[in-house]
Chains A and B, each alone.
Chain A
């Protein structure tokens, strides 16, 4: 998985 896109959520 792409970690960065996970962290665009709160």
Chain B
């Protein structure tokens, strides 16, 4: 565990907590894409299938449980909670997530490190995580007015990706045989998707103005 990996995990955790805070205390999920949240739930479900069979550390298992639990509870809140679900921007959040899942599944069947059930699903989760933010970014673009918590949520998620790239660079130079092209390319694609959002986030922060995306 290096400082970049820890910082990445902590920003990831913080992003989830910010979203849960918004949903739990303000009882609102306005501006949050259910499609993206469902994709994350699928990402964690397929990636952490090995939770019972492969033990790395208490830290890892605990974080896996937190990410699984939080992603499914966010989906549950948005779909079934009587007040939260009324704040969901159903008509704007129309991205078809099947269009993301099918290509990711096909790609995972074609390009993987090992052709086993767990490994293909792990690879599928990497590809899907890379594009899972797209429905959220499309929703932001459509609603344009972004409240602070939603903006912070996406900012923290992007930060998590950035730290993971630093972690990979660090591990590549410090650990022998640490080469994972699939993870790196999927992670890089994912981080690049945030670039545009980051640009406007910093612009609004610099000018001390509310975050607004161009039409």
Contacts and interface: CB of A to CB of B under 8 A. Distances in A.
Contacts, number: 33
A9 B5 contact: yes
A2 B196 CA distance: 34
Given A2-B177, A5-B177, 7 more contacts: A6-B183, A7-B50, A8-B56, A9-B167, A9-B183, A10-B12, A10-B67
Nearest to B114: A3
18 contacts: A1-B113, A1-B179, A1-B181, A2-B177, A2-B178, A5-B177, A5-B178, A6-B113, A6-B180, A6-B183, A7-B50, A7-B56, A9-B5, A9-B183, A10-B9, A10-B12, A10-B60, A10-B64
Interface in B1-20: 5, 9, 12
Interface of B: 5, 9, 12, 50, 54, 56-57, 60, 63-64, 67, 113-114, 119, 122, 164, 167, 175, 177-181, 183
Interface residues of A, number: 9
Contacts of B114: 3
Interface of A: 1-3, 5-10
A2 B171 CA distance: 13
Tell me the dominant secondary structure on chain B's binding face.
helix
Given A1-B177, A2-B177, A7 B54 contact: yes
Given A1-B179, A3-B119, A8 B113 contact: no
Quick one: which of B64, B179, B181 has the most chain A CB within 10 A? B179
B180 A10 contact: no
Contact of B63 (A1, A6, A7, A10): A10
Contact of B122 (A1, A7, A8): A7
Contacts of A3: 113-114, 119
A1 B176 CA distance: 10
Nearest to B160: A10
Quick one: which of A2, A5, A6 has the most chain B CB within 10 A? A6
